[in-house]
Chains A and B, each alone.
Chain A
Amino acid sequence: AQTIHQWPVAEIKAVGSPLSLGCTIKGKSSPNLYWYWQATGGTLQQLFYSITVGQVESVVQLNLSASRPKDDQFILSTEKLLLSHSGFYLCAWSLRRQNTLYFGAGTRLSVL
């Protein structure tokens, strides 16, 4: 069975500090990977997607970056957090040529 694990579960960070969020998928080879962001009470917004190791496409510019260092790992990061980065970050995977998304439990980020 496939499992998707996101870490950390929650973060409280200061404006201007760096951030790194992670996501690991087990039990599925070469999945498509996605990062989504949801402001409190807001719409799910796609940030990045990756179809293979080392290749990441940006969908929305939010002063964030993403990397896929391994087939089963997706990292979201920034060197300098803004207040507007607060929200709920979700990692998801899908099979190739299918777009049903399978989401992780998410990371709640509060930037103060």
Chain B
Amino acid sequence: DVKVTQSSRYLVKRTGEKVFLECVQDMDHENMFWYRQDPGLGLRLIYFSYDVKMKEKGDIPEGYSVSREKKERFSLILESASTNQTSMYLCASSQITRDRAAGELFFGEGSRLTVL
């Protein structure tokens, strides 16, 4: 089975702290994604990556950065956490198809971040 593992299920941080959210997938997928999910707003794409060292901004990249040094690992970084970044963060991965579209998407269990 495909496994997407997020390093922390629950985090509590203070305003201004630097936060790292780690995600590892074990199926050699090219695509990796970071979403945040908030009540009433649904899932919103923060960043995605289709290859090592490649990254693309999603719909809401402000306040976030990402790192993909190895194919299996995609990290989300909050340089200076703010209270409006309190959310559920979801990592996902997929195979890339011949037409360069995403195949079936597999999600991790999520990381619930609270910024005080």
A binds B: no
Q: Which residues of B contact A (CB under 8 A)?
A: none
Which A residues form the contact surface with B (CB < 8 A)? Answer: none
